[in-house]
Amino acid sequence: MKKRTRIIAVLSVLLAACQAHIAFADASDLNLNVNGRMLTGQNPIVVNDTTLVPIRTLSFLSDVYVNWEPATKTVTLTNRTAHQTVQVVAGQKTALVNQVPVVLNTPAHIQNGSVYVPLRFIGESLHAKVVWDQAIKTVVIYPVDKAVTEAYRSSKLVDSRIAALKLVRVEMNERLFTTDEGHVTGYYFPTGKSNSFFIVNQGVVSYYEVRNDAAWKTWEATSGESTGKELIPGIIAGVDQEWGTRPTYKGTFSYFWDLWMQGQVSYGVIDSKGEMKELGIGNSKAGATVIREIPQDNTKK
């Protein structure tokens, strides 16, 4: 009897330890970024070093359809663009990817009334990109369009730039705003480059760098008065508010202005002193690319 009591006591301690571990995972400072935007209220958890999220989180992914069948505890997720389907059953370690069995390290499970699924496995099975940002403890997941990424890798600079602007834009900050209404959106690429660019819109300047098949915003600022030499000649003189790491590039640019109120595009070049030279202006339809070929800047570096 005493031996049985001791065993029960040991099991109770082990169960309490496991519950404490899960509670700690629930309370972690893990963040989520889906489709390029930060999400709150998703309550991700970590079990056996695997990040799990509620199935509603994955419904934010573009072109992903999520279905829950409570009778069989089965989750079916479909990427209608990539023609990929994943099925997982809560508590079972075998999933189906396009009907092919795959063994999971950590199965889906139900917790506090929500169905949790392994984020990286589901994302990559649906041909999405999953990236871990250690600095801010954020899991980033976004869809990848194979045709766009292939176009971005083109040796033709104009095609690569067009594709760069079609990539998912990953934003890790709360967007900055001004009272400037603005009727022009400007796009600025360093000469010979498509892997970084500035977008200027309504008094806000955003800087992006292309990596992991997406355009990642690394800096953003609102325009302010110059305290002397222009901060980035031809693009922004001074800043009022800013977020992120300020870019150091001081060279020449090609610019493309979307004059959307007039249905036109203006384009040209900017020298290292910020002097602008317009090379052309033409008509543009809503949703059409603003990128044009520039003879002085048509070689990809």
Tens of pLDDT along 161-175? 999 999 999 999 999
Percent of the chain with pLDDT over 70: 89
- In one-letter notation, the amino acid at residue 128 is A
pLDDT recorded at residue 95: 96
Which of 57-61, 188-192, 247-251, 264-268 has the least mean pLDDT? 247-251
Q: Would you state the structure tokens that stand for residue 284, as one six-digit string? A: 């543009």
Q: Is the pLDDT of residue 291 over 70?
A: yes
Q: Is the CB of residue 147 less than 8 Å from the CB of residue 162?
A: no
pLDDT recorded at residue 13: 37
- Mean pLDDT calculated for residue range 131-151: 93
DSSP state of 247: P
- Compare 63 and 151 and report the one with higher pLDDT: 151
Q: Is the pLDDT of residue 11 over 90?
A: no
Q: Is the pLDDT of residue 16 over 80?
A: no
pLDDT recorded at residue 27: 36
- Mean pLDDT calculated for residue range 139-148: 94
d(CA 271, CA 252): 5
d(CA 86, CA 75): 8
pLDDT recorded at residue 79: 92
Q: Is the CB of residue 150 less than 8 Å from the CB of residue 159?
A: no
φ, ψ dihedrals at 278, nearest 5°: -75, 130
Burial label, 245 (beta-carbon count in 10 A; 0-12, 13-18, 19+):
exposed
pLDDT recorded at residue 261: 87
Helical segments of 213-267, H only = none
Q: Is the pLDDT of residue 131 over 80?
A: yes
pLDDT band with cut points at 50, 70 and 90 for residue 214: very high
Q: Is the pLDDT of residue 213 over 80?
A: yes
- Mean pLDDT calculated for residue range 201-230: 91
Q: Which of 156, 157, 201, 208 is nearest to 176 (CA)?
A: 201
φ, ψ dihedrals at 146, nearest 5°: -60, -40
Question: How many contiguous H segments (helices) and E segments (strands) does the chain have?
Answer: 5, 22
pLDDT digits (tens, 9 = 90+) for 43-98: 899 898 899 999 999 999 988 999 999 999 999 999 988 889 999 999 999 999 99
DSSP state of 1: -
- Mean pLDDT calculated for residue range 288-301: 92
Q: Is the pLDDT of residue 153 over 70?
A: yes
Q: Would you state the structure tokens that stand for residue 292, as one six-digit string? A: 């044009």
Helix (H), strand (E) at residue 119: helix 119-125
pLDDT recorded at residue 28: 61
Which of 23-32, 202-211, 261-270 has the least mean pLDDT? 23-32
**Gyration radius of the chain's alpha carbons:** 25
Which of 183-187, 226-230, 234-238, 289-293 has the least mean pLDDT? 226-230
Which residue shows structure tokens 């949790």? Answer: 116
Q: Is the pLDDT of residue 20 over 80?
A: no
d(CA 215, CA 227): 30
d(CA 6, CA 78): 50
**Identity of the highest mean pLDDT range in 161-170, 179-188, 219-228:** 161-170
Q: DSSP of 177-201, one letter per residue? A: --S---S-EEEEEETT-SSEEEEEE
pLDDT recorded at residue 228: 66
Q: Would you state the structure tokens that stand for residue 121, as one six-digit string? A: 């496995």
d(CA 34, CA 37): 6
d(CA 204, CA 240): 10
Q: Is the pLDDT of residue 224 over 90?
A: no
